[in-house]
Structure 1
């Protein structure tokens, strides 16, 4: 079971990883055609997230099996959250000039952060 300090460090690392992967490492290919379910750019984007999550788990000393579980769940959940946002935005025709774009963006980011809360909670239960 994780102590509170380790859990908080893991949460901070996951949030930092999220900022870097979502706001610095996304390419136009990752952002194009987001309404499609099968999407290599999104898969690569989520792989970057999974690798960052694995690194965060490694840095706090989680067991390898738990590291793999966290990284795999992060990949799958991130993929589907991003697909949902991409599909919603494509159907709505939202642009950054629309308030609904920012509501969808905020909901997307909230779901990612709640994913990290759940992953840290799950790791703490291991």
Structure 2
């Protein structure tokens, strides 16, 4: 597959993966208490993300070592982005009725998508 097409396909697959892992597969357990650093629900949520990333990486022909590297990095980064957003919104007592809540949500989503840019760049250089 031509490199530019492969990059677009990879990004599209990551976007679909993100939609499901970040929105459709969330449970109350994953959302409640997320401001605590050691949070079982956030660990499960980050794990769901990488479990959904593995098929994408396999479709893209990624090596086993590349899959491990990209998934470990994604897990760590996703875990911390979500924790930071949870702390920020809780510390400021933001709710969906507050503009600051949506600013935090937008920043959270942008950081996740920047993570995918980094993952694609790393994938291209494996």
Coordinate RMSD, CA, aligned: 1.0
Q: What is the TM-score normalised by the length of structure 1?
A: 0.96
Unaligned runs of 5+ in 1: none
Give the CA deviation at 1:91.
0.3
**1:93-121: CA deviations, max 9, x gaps?**
00000000000000000000000001001
SS at match of 1:34: coil
1:72 CA displacement: 1.1
Matching of residues 66-85 of structure 1 within 5 Å: 66-85=66-85
TM superposition score normalised by structure 2: 0.96
Deviation >4 Å, runs of 4+? none
Larger RCO of the pair (alpha carbons < 8 Å, separation 6+)? 1
For these two proteins, the number of residue pairs brought into alignment is 125
Q: Which runs of 5+ in 2 are unaligned?
A: none
